[in-house]
Structure 1
């Protein structure tokens, strides 16, 4: 009998038993090792602010619409950063190219559950690269979110980039933008995050509670302003500061998951007068100009390759490994005391 983490209601986390699932044809059974908690998307479900809880996403029309069939509590198995060991492969796909074998360590998305039966196609070529710590592989999806934002920024060698929000994804974006040749100004309100950003290559770290990001960006660029800014905190006030920080014709990537109304976003000011380009980055797809060459799979694999090569150290962002039985405390930590944690990982090896 396995277990699954679920939200019984807003800010109510429980670990419940999950029934055994038969191994269907064309499928693979995986025993989970680690599962990373997203401090962005998942916390919106934990807090009850996720738009899917009040509206329905119409995939065909690409609109949120009112309806009585909106997602509701309990919500089981949220999570998109899993690593596990293959324990069984159905006979009809055993040995097929790309399908992992028994005892292979694989990465993928199956939520916070101790065991999962997945279509083999979902794990095609998802074996963790040789020599890579399985913990690092829990960052495949998170890393691709950061990479997608940097690709959308279209940052060029020698340009100045402001990255607002130095949580896990923001820190990864800071590192990836630095690898792309940018001079990164990292912004946050939490000192430990700013110190980590400097470790990852930021040329400056700005405490947004005591400094004016836009003024500092201009001081660092001879008055011109940053070339690009990436907003990853999910705060619309921070998005406004991102807009203020870039120069005329600058590009701002809105990559945070914004909740509620856009308080503090004043589009009649710098956005209008500096003719700022505002771009949305969302993990559902790469920037349109790259769609012919990039997709979600390439972003995942690129990030894992960079980790395997040592260009990025995601394991260094793991501050807490928590037993699954203590999942409720893990979510409370991220919700109430975010300054105390970066990446929190549920550890199934201890149960």
Structure 2
């Protein structure tokens, strides 16, 4: 049976030009026989990718991630509805969908909008023990899970995380569960360094003090750190990450710099030390893991950790959807009187 909730339209957030967003009224999509309609409750804003879109810093011709099929068109071109962390409740079912879906709380990789349609296969049912806010953080936890899988921490290693944003802090919390000799976090903001320490980092340093990490390892007769995770979004941090790992060290890069360029010193110890630099991106899995790992398994793992980790404590700003422009303004240029935003979420009526 098809159930109609009576609302005549929906509102969609669109990026319309550099540093310009609007909430636009659109006709409501019809619910196909194999679809449901979801009324959005909360959606999380990505301070990385979405700021690149907001600032028009995505490289020209860059296609939208093919693993996110909900976007209109396949290019980062204005106007663009974007976002990929929506949580809501099913309010309507197509004729071929079991009514058991009605009222379910679900997560979807969908742009910011008041409602949307999707097939049940495109939805993640939110477990009762998981709060709506924690569910909205699922892409953050899944990205951190991917970074840890790609870094492959080993017992007794020394690892540094560069950047203590939402993804960096979640990665830190996951790495803290491993029996490492040292887990360090490099971050310029003191309040974020404090938060990293509370999540399990053994050492927290300002980027100006990053050399101390390698020096301490050398004092223990170890040639640098074993691995580093670069998730700061700052190209200069990649060079620092390369500089602190030792012979046969590993650098996992989760940042997307957009049009910014990283300048690396590859003429010194890098060449002789066989340092490996590898990108990590959540839309794919490391080929070495694909025999036993799938995206479904990784997502299930992320769901478990979203419930276990204090991810909702990373939410610093809640903005009404009607005032969505303010969410991007505070991320782009935080007011001096405001707290530096860590994770911003949009709240819907």
TM-score after normalising by structure 1: 0.89
Q: Per-residue deviation at 1:270? A: 3.1
Q: Which residue of 1 aligns with 2:3?
A: none
Q: Which residue of 1 aligns with 2:5?
A: none
Matched, 1:86 2:83: no
Which blocks of at least 5 consecutive residues in structure 1 are unaligned? 61-68
CA gap 1:250/1:9 in 2 versus in 1, 3 angstroms: same
Matched, 1:272 2:271: yes
1:156 to 143, 147, 154: 154
Maintained 8 Å contact 1:285/1:291: no
Q: Which residue of 2 aligns with 1:252?
A: 251
Q: Which residue of 2 aligns with 1:328?
A: 325
CA gap 1:141/1:13 in 2 versus in 1, 3 angstroms: same
Taking the aligned partners of 1:207 and 1:276, their CA distance within structure 2 comes to 23
Which blocks of at least 5 consecutive residues in structure 2 are unaligned? 1-8, 67-73
Residue correspondences, number: 328
Q: Which residue of 1 aligns with 2:346?
A: 346
Q: Which residue of 1 aligns with 2:43?
A: 35
CA gap 1:322/1:58 in 2 versus in 1, 3 angstroms: closer
1:46 to 41, 54, 57: 54
2:214 to 195, 209, 217: 217
1:92-171 map, 5 Å:
92-94=96-98, 101-123=101-123, 126-171=124-169
Maintained 8 Å contact 1:178/1:202: yes
1:298 aligns to what SS in structure 2? Answer: helix
1:13 aligns to what SS in structure 2? Answer: strand
Q: Which residue of 2 aligns with 1:12?
A: 20
Q: Per-residue deviation at 1:265? A: 1.5
Maintained 8 Å contact 1:251/1:276: yes
2:176 aligns to what SS in structure 1? Answer: helix
Q: Which residue of 1 aligns with 2:300?
A: 301
Maintained 8 Å contact 2:316/2:343: yes
1:243 aligns to what SS in structure 2? Answer: helix
Q: Per-residue deviation at 1:236? A: 2.0
1:74 to 73, 79, 82: 79
Matched, 1:228 2:227: yes
Taking the aligned partners of 1:104 and 1:239, their CA distance within structure 2 comes to 43
Taking the aligned partners of 1:57 and 1:341, their CA distance within structure 2 comes to 28
Taking the aligned partners of 1:328 and 1:233, their CA distance within structure 2 comes to 24
CA gap 1:71/1:345 in 2 versus in 1, 3 angstroms: closer
Maintained 8 Å contact 2:242/2:251: yes
